[in-house]
Amino acid sequence: MVESFPMKKVIDEQGNLVTASDRDLIDQELVQTAYYHMYRIRTFDKKAKSLQRQGRIGTYPPFEGQEAAQVGSALALGEDDWLFPTYRDHGAMLTFGANMTRTFLYWNGRLEGCIPPDGKRIFPAAVPIATQILHATGASWAEKRKGTKNIAIAYFGDGATSEGDFHEGLNFASVFQTPTIFFNQNNGYAISVPFERQMNSSTIAQKGVAYEIPSVRVDGNDFFAVFFEMQKAVNRARSGKGPTLIEAVTWRTGAHTTADDPTKYRPEGLGQDVVDPILRFERFMKNEGFWNDDFAVNIHKEVENEIEAAVKEMESYPKANVEDLFDHVFAELPNQLVNQKDSYLQLLRGK
């Protein structure tokens, strides 16, 4: 099966083009955009970990090491497409246009953190595993019914492929030929369980065969490989040719969450040979004449300023409003909830 799904690569670990002619597909704007977003979400991720250690946000699941997969996929989407993320996909969400302050707010336990900017079709991160795969299928089915060319992408990890909802989602998408992209980040571990114990299949891409869904395996640490395969999948979906399954093979550099200790289950040294996707991209930029110190310095400064401002805004955000505990469960509050709310508010007000 590994032979049937060769890992697509555009640049190697040293940042060299695997196929020289691919150079024609790459221009400065794409390179700079990709670098900016990868650097930006990496810095966000580092900041989030640091804030968690200082007790300034809650438990946080880092995505370090998965930047090429998240940016490469999100940048291939169109303005009106739908994004259905998991809790480890805030990098993709930020790249697609989620607000950074709100992203920090989410990890600080605030409902406001799930609200996308106006017009942005970004669903709240799914915390149960694989459930969002069906939502993406349904939302993209709706787009097809409306006759638009919009699509939906569902993000999910290697562990999610063991859940029923993964298979039900692929089957529905296959039966109804929905414009859905199933974007798997195979980062090697589902908390403590390695890929080899999660499944006896050698790839995730091969799981698409049963559903006759075009499936592809890409080097998830190679921005270009992810981006180009995503573009193909997006075009296929927009032109009515149905869903695609993409397995982006990547590596979770850190822990499952800030509450997790991977030294308990991950053999020492495992993954050390994985070349960091951003380092790899920088090597490519230098090899191919895209690197520009001024550009990099400016980007770094811009990102740091943005993150500092977002943290400041998050920390000075008005306190959570107790009425929000009640007010959004239904469009209109049933009497039961009105009574519960009123009596609790009266207690708070000392009555």
Partner 1 sequence: MTSNITETKIATKSITLIQAINDGMKTVLERDDTTLILGEDVGKNGGVFRATDGLQEIFGDDRVIDTPLSESGIIGTSIGLAVNGFKPIAEIQFMGFIYPAYDQIMTHASRIRMRTMGRFSVPMVIRAPFGAGVRAPEIHSDSAEALFTHMPGIKVVCPATPYDAKGLLISAVEDPDPVLYMEPMHNYRSFREEVPIDYYTVEIGKGIKRTEGEDVTLITWGAMVPLVEKVANQAKENGISCEVIDLRTLYPIDEGLIAESVKKTGRAVIIHEAPRTGGLGNDIVSIINDTSFLYLKAPIERVTGFDVPVPFSSLESHYLPTPDRILKGIEKVTNF
Interacting residues toward partner 1 by CB under 8 A: 82, 111-112, 114-116, 123-124, 126-128, 131, 133-143, 145-146, 152, 164-165, 168-169, 171-172, 175, 324, 328-332, 334-337
Closer CB to partner 1, 127 or 309, in the complex: 127
- Confirm whether 265 is a catalytic residue: yes
Residue 142 CB, nearest distance to partner 1 (Å)? 4
**Whole-Å CA distances, 277 to 41, 72, 219, 273:** 12, 11, 10, 12
Please list, in sequence order, all residues whose beta carbon lies within 8 angstroms of the beta carbon of residue 328, skipping any fewer than 6 positions away.
111
Closer CB to partner 1, 113 or 220, in the complex: 113
Closer CB to partner 1, 180 or 198, in the complex: 180
**Whole-Å CA distances, 172 to 142, 212, 274:** 13, 12, 36
Strand bridging mode 189-190 / 193-194: antiparallel
Residue 339 CB, nearest distance to partner 1 (Å)? 9
Closer CB to partner 1, 21 or 335, in the complex: 335
Give the separation between CA 128 and CA 135, rounded to whole angstroms. Answer: 13
CA proximity to 96, closest of 149, 22, 144, 155: 155
- Confirm whether 167 is a catalytic residue: no
Adjacency order of strands within the sheet including 244-249: 121-122, 82-84, 152-157, 180-186, 244-249, 215-219
CB of 90 closer than 8 Å to CB of 125: yes
Residue 315 CB, nearest distance to partner 1 (Å)? 20
AA identity, residue 192: S
Residue 145 CB, nearest distance to partner 1 (Å)? 7
Residue 115 CB, nearest distance to partner 1 (Å)? 5
Catalytic residue among 40, 252, 280, 283: 252
Q: How far is CA 72 from the centre of its chain?
A: 10
Q: How many CB atoms lie within 10 A of CB 297?
A: 10
Closer CB to partner 1, 203 or 244, in the complex: 244
Q: Which residues are known catalytic residues?
A: 252, 256, 265
